[in-house]
Amino acid sequence: MSAAVPSPPPGEFDLIARCFHRHRAPRPGVPLGPGDDCALLAPRPGMQLAVSTDMLVEGRHFLSTVAPEALGHKALAVNLSDLAACGATPLACTLAIAMPRGDADWLGRFADGLYALADRHGIALAGGDMTAGPLNLSLTVIGEVPTGQALLRHGARPGDTLWVSGRLGDARLALEGFRGTVRLPGEVFDRVRLAMERPEPRVALGQALRGVASAALDLSDGLLGDVRHLLARSAEALGRPQPLGLRLDADALPRSAELAAQPLALQRLCTLAGGDDYELAFTAPAGAEAAVREAAAQAGVSVTPVGRIEDETGLRCVDAAGRPVAADYLAFDHFRG
């Protein structure tokens, strides 16, 4: 008897091949793309690899109503933002996806959004996995950085200036709009929801800041919560038992005209503890201002000095006149959030 080898069922493998094999051809740095047990990467000599993983869950990291293209963009963008924070050049990513049903239309549109951003950054979707289950997207990104030049969360010193890129708080303002806690005119809502749904990872800025910034991280849980890690890790590296301190100028935090038109309390919430910003926060010696501004110009991204790292542990949040600003926001936490 000669039975035909069963043809591929119109499920998992068919969907993967249809939606996620656009980067199968070998490319520089990625000699083997998707379709085998592993992908193969060929980092250049002298390079270390930066690796980061982020998982996005429906109803937590994105609304179920989001356009699949936007979700594909955002799933990759939040991961690239981690590479940006390290000053790495993106090389490849993998995608694991669980979804209730194999919906080829939805997946194709999701893939469109993901590949558009991947192609802009010259990065291959090199492999992954697909299964049935509650909607869940887990991406791992891999980038290259010259040995010893990665930007890290530690390295800040008392006296360093704290900078942030771009503008903060629009994503949170959009979320409050979705939640109905604030009423936004249609065109305002349309502009700020772009910040929430289409964050632009600061990859070029991260690379330009190598050798300039003393420490860096990306802002995903809100400035106050995230910068805590930088203060703690930098103190650890200096052998100090307490985190470094921060004097933060709340009025200096860069914000859009749309956010600046909101009540001050909402501006404070959105800029200090908004979450989902995907901007870089980084420190540099006070004397490095010109180098920071040059790196920013090279990357085409605005940067703003917003505070100063201090010896004395604790956060001193002030307004433009130097008056204290209450800043007792808790960092976002997925098991509290």
Which amino acids are annotated as binding site for substrate, given as ranges? Answer: 61, 276, 332
125 touching a second copy, by CB under 8 A: no
- Confirm if 203 and 314 have CB atoms less than 8 A apart: no
335 touching a second copy, by CB under 8 A: yes
Nearest alpha carbon to residue 55 among 90, 96, 85, 107: 96
225 touching a second copy, by CB under 8 A: yes
Extract the annotated binding site. 37, 52-54, 61, 82, 128-129, 153, 218, 220-221, 276, 332
Q: Name 312's Cβ contacts closer than 8 Å, sequence gap at least 6.
A: 245
Please state, in angstroms and rounded to a whole number, the distance separating the CA atoms of residues 332 and 232.
Answer: 17
Which member of 18, 28, 42, 116 binds a second copy (CB under 8 A)? 42
237 touching a second copy, by CB under 8 A: no
- Tell the burial category of 231 from Cβ atoms under 10 Å away from its Cβ (0-12, 13-18, 19+): buried
96 touching a second copy, by CB under 8 A: yes
Pick 1 or 321: Cβ nearer a second copy: 1
| Smallest separation (angstroms) from a second copy to the CB of 150 | 6
8 touching a second copy, by CB under 8 A: yes
105 touching a second copy, by CB under 8 A: no
Pick 192 or 208: Cβ nearer a second copy: 208
Residue 205 CA from chain centroid, whole number: 13
| Smallest separation (angstroms) from a second copy to the CB of 126 | 6
Which single residue is written with the structure tokens 């360093």? 160
Please state, in angstroms and rounded to a whole number, the distance separating the CA atoms of residues 291 and 305.
Answer: 13
Contact pattern from residue 143 through residue 182 relative to a second copy, giving x for each residue in contact according to CB under 8 A and a dash for the rest = x-x-x--x-xx-----------------------------
- Confirm if 163 and 281 have CB atoms less than 8 A apart: yes
262 touching a second copy, by CB under 8 A: no
Q: Decide the pairing of beta strands 124-132 and 89-99.
A: parallel
Q: Which of residues 272-301 bind a second copy (CB under 8 A)?
A: none
Extract the annotated binding site for Mg(2+). 37, 52-54, 82, 129, 218, 221
214 touching a second copy, by CB under 8 A: no
86 touching a second copy, by CB under 8 A: yes
270 touching a second copy, by CB under 8 A: no
Q: What angle, 0 to 180 degrees and rounded to 10, lies between the N-to-C axes of helices 170-179 and 186-197?
A: 120
- Confirm if 301 and 202 have CB atoms less than 8 A apart: yes
55 touching a second copy, by CB under 8 A: yes
Instruction: Kindly state the DSSP code that residue 257 receives in the 8-state scheme.
Output: H
Nearest alpha carbon to residue 164 among 304, 57, 31, 317: 304
334 touching a second copy, by CB under 8 A: yes
314 touching a second copy, by CB under 8 A: yes
> Residue 312 corresponds to which tokens in the numbers above?
């004395």
